[in-house]
Amino acid sequence: MALTTHRIRRLAGATALASAALAMAACSGPTAGSGQSTTPPSSSASASASSTSRATASASASASGTVSAIASGFPSKTLPLMPGAAALATSFDASTTPAVASLVASSSKSSAAEMLDYYTKVLTDQGFTAVPAASSTGAASAMASAGTLLRDFIRSNGSETATITVVTANGQAVATVSISVAPSALK
């Protein structure tokens, strides 16, 4: 169990950093005429696009990442977009074991707590169990004091994990939901 908890905390930390970076990028957007894309760090391939088009990355039929849209083939039944939210980035790789998928979504209509509750229900309806919150010291305390909501989950005796991280930036709640599951679980 200690290895699972360590893996979940490491994933949570990485997810929080990715969520904050994507939230900042989404709020500011690419610089006009820069020709740079804002590809999520979990994408499996690099992307290039102009500032007026969507950036998309794809390495194979089972691995993909997209900014500002849902990636083609993304497991939307496993990680659905919350009603009223906008997709900022998605990525997945079903060719690895465990398979991984991430969704970054924003909402100006829902609070961070509402987004956390929605994605908690999505995951618990799929058999995930919430892991008790980490202690109030260190990174967990710093994230909580900064207004970051975080919840970790396990399934299949800890071999499958999920993390929800929600921050509020510029009046928008931004949720990052990441899962690491058996490839057959991505639907």
187 residues of the chain, pLDDT tens digit each: 444 444 444 444 444 444 444 444 444 443 333 333 333 333 333 333 322 233 333 344 577 787 888 998 999 999 999 999 999 999 999 999 999 999 999 999 999 999 999 999 999 999 999 998 765 556 666 666 678 999 999 999 999 999 999 999 889 999 999 999 999 999 9
The pTM of the full predicted model, rounded to 2 decimals, is 0.67
Q: Where are the domains of the chain?
A: 2-30+55-185
| Nearest Cα residue to 91 out of 1, 28, 24, 178 | 178
Question: CA of 160: how far to CAs of 7, 54, 95, 154, 157, in Å?
Answer: 11, 31, 16, 6, 8
